[in-house]
A and B are shown apart, each in its own frame.
Chain A
Amino acid sequence: MSEKKEWPLWEVFIRGQHGMSHRHVGSLHASDNEMAMKNARDVYTRRNEGVSIWVVEAKHITASSPSEKGPMFDPAKDKVYRHPTFYDLPDEAGNM
């Protein structure tokens, strides 16, 4: 007999009707991946929200650390040349 053990936590990602990427919608508990998939279907698609589900056990997710927020994300802030609006073009050039 197993000890009193809580069902692990799973993160649920759903792709909606319109072909967008899977999006994190929430979490749930389940004993294994197959139950997690079914539970995700029952909990998170009751209102016809999705056409595809991913479930990942929460402990397998590697998350960026909040204390490294500066070095992780600040360097991208001044790379404005990655955005289309950085480049001024005359109207005559047409849509680009």
Chain B
Amino acid sequence: MNALFEFLLRQGDNVLVLGHRTSEWCGTAPALEEDIALANTALDLIGQTKLWLEYAAEVEGEGRSANDLAFLRDAYDFRNVLMLETPNEDYGRTLMRQFLFDAFQVHWLTALTDSKDSRISEIAMKSVKEAQYHLERSRDTIIALGDGTELSNKKMQAALDYLWPYAREIMLVDDVDEAMHKDGIAPLPSEILAPWDALVKSTMRDAYLTIPDSNFVHKGGRTGQRHTEHLGHMLATMQVLQRSYPGATW
């Protein structure tokens, strides 16, 4: 196993899958301003995907391109965390998922700017600015919707309850992480837990939401061992043209 390749796929697949989910909103958001903002987020994430997967393809050295990795891998070869492939459901859950991810990503990318791998630190430096804005927006929206009305509070609590068991998969540690840590390429994801926890707690307090009293974590996404059923459907849509017309140029 090439640990660096695995690591890069995890970074790239997270933003690929979330970018895809976010793009599903295009044309149907609650207001035009939100529609435009979501598209900006999705565009940032798709841009980041290219950077991570291009580097992954180079590291792999088998002549595959970023697009080959995105459009011609099967579900078990994807390395995104499960939370990001869960369906949008409604605006509340979409934004809650975004926030729980952003709260990790800002700290994570900040740490990656110090990576010994210069390519990784460059990608992190570009991406972290985008992530900071995403966090600002998702955090404010979570607080507004949690505080807003009785109905919106109920919906946001339901979103948090649903996503909570998925939220911390991204901070689990395995051999890949140990190897990256040893080489000075990345910190252990578990190091992000404390600042993430503090940010999530303060945000949920401001949003009048209750963090579920459970430490259970769904896992299997970042290792590829067991994805949700949702990923297969997403890929069936996303990959349809590349799969149906092998070798065509688009």
Check A1 against B140 for contact (C-beta < 8 Å): no
> What residue of chain A has the Cβ atom nearest to residue B133's Cβ?
A41
Within the complex, what minimum Cβ distance (angstroms) separates A91 from chain B?
A: 54
Is A29 in contact with B149, judged by CB distance below 8 angstroms? no
- In the complex, chain A residues 29-50 whose Cβ is within 8 Å of any chain B Cβ: 29-31, 34-35, 38-39, 41-43, 46
A28 CB–B CB distance under 8 Å: yes
Q: What's the tally of chain B residues with a CB closer than 8 Å to chain A? A: 14
**For residues 147 through 200 of chain B, which have their beta carbon under 8 Å from a beta carbon of chain A?**
149-151
Contact-residue size bin, chain A (C-beta under 8 Å from the other chain): 10 to 19
A12 CB to nearest B CB, Å? 11
Contacts of A2 in B (CB 8 A): 149
B31 contacts chain A at the CB level, 8 A cutoff: yes
What total of A-B pairs shows CB separation below 8 Å? 31
Given contacts A1-B151, A29-B31, contact A42 B140 (CB under 8 A): no
Docked CA distance A30–B150 (Å)? 21
Q: How distant is the Cα of A86 from the Cα of B151 in the complex, in angstroms?
A: 68
Taking the complex as formed, is B144 at the interface, i.e. its CB lies under 8 A from any CB of chain A? yes
- What is the CB-to-nearest-CB distance from B36 to chain A, in angstroms, rounded to a whole number? 5
* Chain A positions within 8 Å of B133 at CB level: 41
A28 and B150 CA atoms in complex are apart in Å by 27
Residue of B37, B144, B151 near A42 (CB, 8 A) is B37
Known: A1-B149, A1-B151, A2-B149. A29 touches B40 (CB 8 A): no
Shortest CB distance A28–B (Å): 6
A38 and B31 contact, CB distance less than 8 A: no
Residues of B within 8 A of A29 (CB): 31-33
Enumerate chain A residues within 8 angstroms of B140, measured Cβ to Cβ: 34-35, 38
* Given A1-B151, A35-B144, A39-B33, 20 further pairs, Cβ under 8 A: A1-B149, A2-B149, A28-B33, A29-B32, A29-B33, A31-B144, A34-B140, A35-B33, A35-B140, A38-B37, A38-B137, A38-B140, A39-B36, A39-B37, A41-B133, A42-B33, A42-B36, A43-B33, A43-B36, A46-B40
Task: State the A residues within 8 Å of B (CB).
Answer: 1-2, 7, 28-31, 34-35, 38-39, 41-43, 46
A-B contact pairs, 23 of them (CB 8 A): A1-B149, A7-B31, A28-B33, A29-B32, A29-B33, A31-B144, A34-B140, A35-B33, A35-B140, A35-B144, A38-B37, A38-B136, A38-B137, A39-B33, A39-B36, A39-B37, A41-B133, A42-B37, A42-B40, A43-B33, A43-B36, A46-B36, A46-B40
